[in-house]
Amino acid sequence: MDWTDKPLLASELISALSNPTRGIANFISGKYATAMSKNVQVDMVQSQKFLITDNLLDHAIRASYVKPKYLLDGLYNTRPPFNNMWVEWNEKERVQKNRKELIKLCREKGATKEVEPLNLAGIPDRIGYHIKRLTNERDVRNNEPIVDGETILYTCFFQMEDKKFYCPEMGFNINYDCNYNYESFVNTWNRQNNFSPVNMTEEAFYHNCASNGAVMLGIAYSELHKGDPFLDQIFRNLIPVQTCSTHWVRSAQNFLSPVHEKESIRHAEDLNRLSGDPRFLISLLNMLNYDLVSTETVVPPKKITHVYLNRSVPKNEYKVVQINLPKPRGKRVYNRMFTGQGSPKREHWRRGHWRRVNDRKGKLIKRIWIGEQKVGNAELGMIVHDYELVQKSQ
């Protein structure tokens, strides 16, 4: 993407949240809607922003089609490098590259079913995901977390031809800390609902995991690997979650009322809209946590003026950190990536990363996740990083 062509989608979203009745689709004004839109705007301003270039989309897409065994390894390693971050990319480019890879994979598998013709109508130019690690509420009686595992909410935003921002009511949580199962579901239900009876059988729970998981991974990918035992494990660790838009698509009077049938249908449609996104983000976040990081820094032009909703889009001064990936040699590179093989400064956020602990002979003992940290000397100034992912020069 040309930096001088248009601002970051994140910057336009920040502007839209300043005037949500004009900038956010299906926005119903009210106390819940206003409060949530302000919270999201603050989160977006403070988030670490990643721009995915077109040439790297090819890597991320190809890596997302590894076998379920390796994808599951990637899922367990899918830790966002920051607690509050944003990633965006050229969606039409991704759709075309994804279709190309899918056709290739179908041929390798000997599949006879034809891939549906590509139709870019209704596909937004750009898509962004807000990824935020949530602090789990704790039960005051025993100080245990109400939700098992760590909750990281993935929320999608995109623009259509009307220039408004759309946010599906459904997002997802990639639960990498534990193998989410019926017992975990029951424990979470009990803590959230004051130990009222669970209204779902174990059979129904796993059926929902499989149906929702197949949609989130992508129906085509799920069908190609149907019967693979690792696929069911992935399904159980992809959990649909309602997003911030629930606060503004409902009126304040109806906000606390139960979900009715029409809303359930809309939730299912919104989940279908995200089909394949969790698999793609598993691949992308593994690349972000990969060891090969270049030191080259690019400073975008400062004198850029863009207008959205008759207001200037926020001007951000930031550095772009490039992450170089090795020249791929088939899917073996991606397999290793998913399994984890691979002077005074101004104040800045150091992104989360994996630390390898080896014995004296250099053999890996364990891997430890080091969370994001604020480092450096504030008296020397502050650095705000945005990240651009690029393919290593041939």
Mean pLDDT of the chain: 79
Taking the C-alpha atoms of residue 105 and residue 141, their distance in angstroms, rounded to an integer, is 52
Q: Determine, yes or no, domain membership for 154.
A: yes
Q: Determine, yes or no, domain membership for 4.
A: no
Q: Which is it for the CA torsion 199, 202, 207, 213, positive or negative? A: positive
Q: Determine, yes or no, domain membership for 89.
A: yes
Taking the C-alpha atoms of residue 44 and residue 367, their distance in angstroms, rounded to an integer, is 31
Taking the C-alpha atoms of residue 348 and residue 333, their distance in angstroms, rounded to an integer, is 31
Q: Determine, yes or no, domain membership for 227.
A: yes
pLDDT for res 264:
86
Taking the C-alpha atoms of residue 52 and residue 299, their distance in angstroms, rounded to an integer, is 16
Is 282 within 8 Å of 216 (Cβ atoms)? no
Taking the C-alpha atoms of residue 286 and residue 295, their distance in angstroms, rounded to an integer, is 19
Token couple for 82: 């920051």
First to last CA, the chain: 20
CA angle at 132 for the pair 167 and 88, rounded to the nearest 5°: 55
pLDDT for res 350:
76
CA angle at 275 for the pair 265 and 242, rounded to the nearest 5°: 50
Token couple for 49: 């922003």
Phi and psi, residue 290, nearest 5°: -70, 155
Q: Which domain holds residue 42?
A: 9-389
Q: Determine, yes or no, domain membership for 105.
A: yes
* Number of domains within the chain: 1
124: left (phi over 0), alpha (psi -120 to 50) or beta: beta
Q: Determine, yes or no, domain membership for 2.
A: no
* pTM for the whole structure: 0.77
Q: Determine, yes or no, domain membership for 273.
A: yes
Predicted confidence pLDDT, tens digits, the chain (394 residues): 454 467 889 989 999 999 999 999 999 999 999 999 999 999 999 998 888 877 778 888 989 999 999 999 899 888 888 899 999 999 999 999 999 888 888 887 776 556 667 778 889 999 999 999 986 554 444 455 444 557 899 999 999 988 899 999 999 999 876 667 888 788 777 766 666 777 888 899 899 999 999 999 999 999 989 999 999 999 989 999 999 999 999 887 777 777 788 888 899 999 999 999 999 999 988 887 765 444 333 445 555 556 666 666 655 543 344 555 555 444 556 776 677 655 445 667 777 878 888 887 778 888 888 888 877 766 555 666 666 566 655 4
List the helix and strand counts (H, then E) for the chain.
14, 17
Helix locations, the chain, DSSP H: 9-18, 20-23, 31-46, 54-64, 68-76, 91-109, 182-192, 202-217, 219-224, 229-236, 246-249, 261-273, 277-288, 332-339
Q: Determine, yes or no, domain membership for 203.
A: yes
What does the pLDDT look like over 142-152, one tens digit per residue? Answer: 455 444 557 89
pLDDT for res 256:
78
- Cα 129 to Cα 96, 206, 390: the distances in Å are 19, 27, 19
